[in-house]
Structure 1
Amino acid sequence: MMGGLQSALAEASSPSWRQRARAGRVLASFADVPEAAEVLMGLLMDAEDTSVTRQTAEALARVGMAAAVRLIALAVVEADGSRADWLQTGVHDALVGPFGAPDVAAACGKLAQDQEEAVRRGAAEISAWLDGTSC
């Protein structure tokens, strides 16, 4: 399993957007590992391809744990309008997918109490995306 983590960490700096997006999907399940979280933030804010942003946000939303949604929340606060739209699209894709992302709302509830104001603001924004589900 750690081999997959190391491989995905290396792939995250690839010049290929497809490889970076794949890295985001793999790393999402490691969102609670500090090294992976740092790389995931970079992928959420990928300057070269918004598909990397969208697919990474979708993967993190599907994971649904607070550590994963926290990264999306931080990215939302940091993002410009266009990037925020792609983050929202990724979360939406997870919610409407075949398995949904039922834990996102619960994670927002936990993050609403986070010590960091940026996390609380981002969680509130994600909550607004959930069409009436409040955190």
Structure 2
Amino acid sequence: MVRGLGAALAEASSPSWARRARAGRDLASFAEVPEAAEALLGLLLDAEDTAVTRQTAEALARMGTVAAMRLIALAVAGADDNQADWLQTGVHDVLVDSDGGPAVAVVCGKLARDPKEVVRRGAAYISAWMDGNGP
């Protein structure tokens, strides 16, 4: 059950990794809302626990919307190597699902034409993951 936006935003800054991970899953459906997008980007680049990064990336990739995948692309472009590995793992969890791969590919194609270079670069990394290559 998706909880309310306010409750999920509050949990995004919790000291508990489990609550932050839950916030990432709950906020994924609000990726187009600026407050949620800001919180989601922070969760994708969580400095304290890679489980938060992975679960948030997976939830956003499962949403498969342009707004959701744009956040992953932004995170990938700003991630260190460890974070990028866990972002890739979260996306991969969706790519191995027969329904997830095509949607991600279509959205990455759209993001390849994004006005922001950082988004295009992140989308290129995600596209490379679909081809079996890492960042």
- Structure 2-normalised TM-score? 0.92
Distance 2:118 2:39 in 1: 19
Query: How many residues are treated as equivalent by the alignment?
Result: 132
Q: How do 1:1-135 and structure 2 match up within 5 A?
A: 4-97=4-97, 99-131=99-131
Stretch deviating more after TM superposition (113-122 or 91-100): 91-100
Alpha-carbon offset, residue 97 of structure 1: 3.9
Coordinate RMSD, CA, aligned: 1.8
Q: Deviations over 1:27-83 (max 9, x none)?
A: 011101101000000000101100000000000000000110000001101011111
Give the letter for the 1:57 counterpart.
A
SS in 2 for 1:102: helix
Q: Which runs of 5+ in 1 are unaligned?
A: none
Alpha-carbon offset, residue 98 of structure 1: 7.1
Q: Which runs of 5+ in 2 are unaligned?
A: none
Alpha-carbon offset, residue 94 of structure 1: 1.5
Alpha-carbon offset, residue 131 of structure 1: 2.0
SS in 2 for 1:108: helix
SS in 1 for 2:4: helix
Alpha-carbon offset, residue 103 of structure 1: 1.4
- Give the direction of change, closer, same or farther, for the CA distance of 1:119–1:36 in structure 2 (3 Å limit): same
- 8 Å contact from structure 1 (residues 111, 119) kept in 2: yes
Distance 2:3 2:55 in 1: 22
Give the letter for the 1:35 counterpart.
E
Give the letter for the 2:96 counterpart.
V
- Structure 1-normalised TM-score? 0.92
- 8 Å contact from structure 2 (residues 3, 26) kept in 1: no
Distance 1:98 1:112 in 2: 23
Identity among equivalent positions (%) equals: 73
- 8 Å contact from structure 1 (residues 63, 101) kept in 2: no
